[in-house]
């Protein structure tokens, strides 16, 4: 996973700054898949149609977060 942050500092006057942040988590949106389903047969002996199917991911998808901070 690649995380990335952009920060822009905007001076307001001599003693005050405004920080604008943008943070990207999992920037390239790479999927880390979970384990496949391991049950081949149901309890009644029929074949499970979802056997071997991957239905989950281990990590979260891409997330973007914005923030403002007043520094004085």
Each residue's pLDDT tens digit, 1-45 = 789 999 999 999 999 999 999 999 988 888 889 999 888 898 998
Which pLDDT score, from 0 to 100, does residue 30 have?
A: 81
pTM greater than 0.85 (yes/no): no
Each residue's pLDDT tens digit, 44-67 = 989 988 888 998 888 888 999 999
DSSP secondary structure code for residue 52 in this structure: T
């Amino acid at each position: 996973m690649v995380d990335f942050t952009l920060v822009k500092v905007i001076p307001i006057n001599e003693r005050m700054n405004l920080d604008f942040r943008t943070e990207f988590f999992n920037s390239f949106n790479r999927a880390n898949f979970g384990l496949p389903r391991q049950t081949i047969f149901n309890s009644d002996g029929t074949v499970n149609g979802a056997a071997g199917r991957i239905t989950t991911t281990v990590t979260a998808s891409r997330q973007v977060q914005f923030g403002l901070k007043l520094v004085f």
